Structure 1
Amino acid sequence: MVKRFRTYLKEGFTYTGLEISESDNREVYFLLELKRHKGELRITNKKEIDSLEEIPMNVQKKYPVLLCINTSGILTKKVESSNSDNLEEIVNQAFPNIDLGNFYYEVIQLENNPIVSISRKELIDSTLKKLSDSKIKIAAFSLGISALKNVAPYLHKEEVLVSNRKVGIIDQSILTVSAIESKYKELYNINGLELSSTYLLPFAQILANLNPQNRNTNFGEVTDTLEWEFKNYRIFDQVLKFSLIFFIVLLLVNFFVYNSFHEKIGQLNAAVEATSSKKDELTFLDASVKRKQERVEALSKSSNSKATYYLDLFAQHVPTSIMLSEIKYRPLTKPVRENKPVLLQEGTLLVSGISKDVNDFSFWVEELEKQEWIGSVETLDYDYAGKSTSNFLIEIGFHED
């Protein structure tokens, strides 16, 4: 799992092979994209491209691009026999009298029938710069048909075509290389993967990246630098994305947590406000009850004279034709108001009721006026309620001494 994660972080699981070839004296590009899934390689994209400007639109920058330069600027030659394992001697044997300081070279089949591919450094550096200026991240490159050695064991044919070469293979060794026109194509089946001959070198270059082996070249430092730059770019890009995702998730979690706490705080504040409001209401009601209690106590204290006695005397003289509905002892002078003293009409009774006989009512009033404890009797209201009944209200003033 750790190894898989490291591979994903450094290069991912998608690989792009790109061959620069020539057709009708112009450059043509063969692009092959493979994805590794569960130990298998699957073709996700393949395309023949006519111009350099189109390549960035067909390449995913976050995955490595493995380049194979196979133009007329690459010279390839087989060394018939060599008793040396020194690269420079083998290259000089294939191409005598050249200044190796001005050339990049790559040798395959070092032990048997070496094949040497060389190119001027200016040409390769210029090609790499053009691709870099087009924002194409090259992770490795090879010269000519050198990458074909990686796929030779899977090709069970004596002649194999690539984009512009015909290669003779015997016992998995390349014996002949000759130029052909790019119009000739052939279909190959490699372990269930069908590929046209034009995509054979890009596929071989991808295999070289998946199964790295020691390469016999003088541009190892260049390829190491390209690989280092790509992996750093890839790691920085992935770490940046993971960091952004991490901080976004962290901010979202923080937002939801904050929002949850904010809602709870809002609910608690609302509950506190409601409790405070209820407390104020209870305080107000308690004060109101106390005021009313004080009034009751004041009324109770003020009737410690002969209230029961006077009411008893009054009741003795009520005729049967009169029905009492209300008796107010010491009625209020004014309605009760907030923060105002309670004023009572001292020595007064207000009596209301119904009279069924006007004569009995008049006689009753006269009798009340004769009572020693009564000072005055005043009829405040007398209204006919029916043919034989009337509503009345009288005020009786009595002596409390």
Structure 2
Amino acid sequence: MWRKAEQKILQIKKAAGVEIIFLEGDKYYININQTISRNNAIINEKEIHSLERIEQIEGQIAKDIPLSIVLNGKGILLKKIVGPASNGLLQSVIPNANPDDFYYDLLEGENNNFIGIARRETINSIITELKQMGYKIISVSLGLSVLPNILPFIKQGMKNELESDSLLIQIDNNEITSFSVKDRVNNNKYQPREYLVANQYVKPANILSFAAAAGLFADDIRSANPMNAALLNEERKEYRSYRLFRFAVIGFLTSLFALLLINFFIYNHYFIKNRDLQTSSTFLSEQNQSFQQLSKDVKRKEKFLNQVGWTSMSRTSFYADRIAGLAPPELMFTNLQIYPARSNFLSDAAGNIFKKDTIALNGICGNPVDLSLFVNNLKILADFKTVTIKSYQYRSEIESGSFQMELITQ
């Protein structure tokens, strides 16, 4: 299960094929194809032709796109092998050759085999130079060994003979039968002729670079390169580690972002809830303070009413009837006050401006004896605790006097 998951992680979705043709005098002819795999189809994104120096590749392709290199031209020996391949294949082509000095790339067919041979230092120098530029080299092939990657997808009628900038290749029944090396490299980018590979049109100059790029989409980079070049295998291992590390980092960052996003939503939910609760708490606190103040005001007013006796049932009419019933005919009342106001607010009853259980009675009486009799009669009643004459002023010229009385009720 892990191997399937690892293969999916390592699956290359974008690649570039680079054909480097060696010319006389340490010169190069370079063609590039940048491709992308999308919806099980290979799309040719970019074609570049006729570069003459390795360093010109820089800037043409992004550094994070893996490269598949095809080498042709001077210094690359291509040969058709008659019969099955054997262990001493290199020595059969180059007698007395030291295997440590050469790399070879074998293309095996049902009826025909082809081999490409190059010096190790030549291939290693190309890999090293591209690596120093920051590129990741995943595959290196020699000659025409990359063509089987696209042969089944080339439209019938177009593949009896394929032409690149340096080779003419004969095809029969989806198999390479022979090839020939051109006397001179010619760039075919201006030729109207194009090959239809699946649903992509490819110019002859880019047929090998396109095939090299297409091969990376099916390449298992966990395995060694067919040439078994140590430097290249190290590059493949580094790229594998890079992809796994990149996947792990992206996965970790995605998980971290998802966790932070979930935390944000949870925090935002409780933040809004807390804000609403704080607003509600502030409102309730203000309401509670208002209620407490109102309660104090009500209690204060209730206390006042209790102090002045206004909360009990009024007996004003009763007292008035009792007083009037005992009054002699010669006595006339001018004023009767229930709970009269105090005249001195600095008394011990400060805070209570009315005299509780008190009746103030003013009137006129010409005979003091009648007034005294009236007072005595009131004192006899159980409804009055005390009956006091506060003042009596008799005026002889009118034969009458005014009085002030204070009655304290039970």
Same fold (TM over 0.5): yes
Aligned to 1:144: 143
Aligned to 2:180: 177
Is contact 2:308–2:355 with CA below 8 Å preserved after alignment?
Answer: no
Aligned to 2:399: none
Q: Does 1:195 align with 2:178?
A: no
What letter matches 2:352 in structure 1? V
**Counterparts of 1:173 and 1:303 in 2: how far apart (Å)?**
124
Aligned to 2:122: 123
**Equivalent position SS for 2:407:** coil
Aligned to 1:66: 68
Q: String of CA shifts for 1:58-87, please: whole Å, max 9, x gaps.
A: 4345543222122423222334x35x6324
Report the more deviating stretch, 99-108 or 44-53: 44-53
**Counterparts of 2:38 and 2:341 in 1: how far apart (Å)?**
102
Is contact 2:12–2:216 with CA below 8 Å preserved after alignment?
Answer: no
Check 1:201–1:301 CA distance in 2 against 1; reply closer, same or farther (3 A cut): closer
Q: Does 1:298 align with 2:307?
A: yes
Identity %: 21
Q: Does 1:93 align with 2:102?
A: no
**Counterparts of 1:105 and 1:341 in 2: how far apart (Å)?**
119
Q: String of CA shifts for 1:187-213, please: whole Å, max 9, x gaps.
A: 212233211111111222234334569
**Counterparts of 1:53 and 1:40 in 2: how far apart (Å)?**
31
Check 1:173–1:301 CA distance in 2 against 1; reply closer, same or farther (3 A cut): closer
Deviation at 1:129, TM superposition (A): 1.4
What letter matches 1:10 in structure 2? L
Is contact 1:17–1:65 with CA below 8 Å preserved after alignment?
Answer: yes
Deviation at 1:6, TM superposition (A): 5.2
TM-score w.r.t. structure 2 length?
0.71
TM-score w.r.t. structure 1 length?
0.72
Q: Does 1:205 align with 2:215?
A: no
What letter matches 1:30 in structure 2? N
Is contact 1:70–1:143 with CA below 8 Å preserved after alignment?
Answer: yes
Aligned to 2:46: 45
Is contact 1:148–1:201 with CA below 8 Å preserved after alignment?
Answer: yes
What letter matches 1:202 in structure 2? S
Q: String of CA shifts for 1:73-118, please: whole Å, max 9, x gaps.
A: 3222334x35x6324x332222223222111111223775543211
Q: String of CA shifts for 1:149-199, please: whole Å, max 9, x gaps.
A: 434455554432112222334452242321232234542122332111111
Q: Give the unaligned 5+ runs of structure 1.
A: 351-364, 378-395
What letter matches 2:42 in structure 1? L
Aligned to 2:170: 168
**Counterparts of 1:295 and 1:216 in 2: how far apart (Å)?**
106
**Counterparts of 2:71 and 2:129 in 1: how far apart (Å)?**
13
**Counterparts of 1:289 and 1:228 in 2: how far apart (Å)?**
88
**Counterparts of 2:46 and 2:304 in 1: how far apart (Å)?**
99
**Equivalent position SS for 1:399:** strand
Query: For residues 372-383 of structure 1, what are the structure 2 equivalents within 5 Å?
Result: 372=371, 375=390
What letter matches 1:132 in structure 2? K
Deviation at 1:264, TM superposition (A): 0.8
Q: Does 1:248 align with 2:275?
A: no
Is contact 1:11–1:231 with CA below 8 Å preserved after alignment?
Answer: no
Aligned to 1:357: none
Is contact 2:34–2:213 with CA below 8 Å preserved after alignment?
Answer: no
**Counterparts of 2:67 and 2:261 in 1: how far apart (Å)?**
36
Is contact 1:21–1:70 with CA below 8 Å preserved after alignment?
Answer: yes
**Match of residue 291, structure 2, among 267, 270, 282:** 282
Q: String of CA shifts for 1:9-60, please: whole Å, max 9, x gaps.
A: 2134223222222468532432212223333222222223634445343434
Check 1:348–1:220 CA distance in 2 against 1; reply closer, same or farther (3 A cut): same
**Counterparts of 1:28 and 1:300 in 2: how far apart (Å)?**
120
**Equivalent position SS for 2:290:** helix
Q: Provide the aligned C-alpha RMSD in A.
A: 4.4
Query: For residues 229-248 of structure 1, what are the structure 2 equivalents within 5 Å?
Result: 229-248=238-257
Aligned to 1:258: 267
**Equivalent position SS for 1:341:** coil
**Counterparts of 1:182 and 1:112 in 2: how far apart (Å)?**
30
Deviation at 1:148, TM superposition (A): 2.5
Is contact 2:391–2:404 with CA below 8 Å preserved after alignment?
Answer: yes
Deviation at 1:399, TM superposition (A): 2.8
* Number of residue pairs aligned between Structure 1 and Structure 2: 360
Q: Does 1:102 align with 2:109?
A: no
Report the more deviating stretch, 135-144 or 148-157: 148-157
Is contact 1:20–1:30 with CA below 8 Å preserved after alignment?
Answer: yes
Report the more deviating stretch, 44-53 or 246-255: 44-53
Check 1:280–1:169 CA distance in 2 against 1; reply closer, same or farther (3 A cut): closer
**Equivalent position SS for 1:227:** helix
**Counterparts of 1:276 and 1:158 in 2: how far apart (Å)?**
93
Aligned to 1:355: none
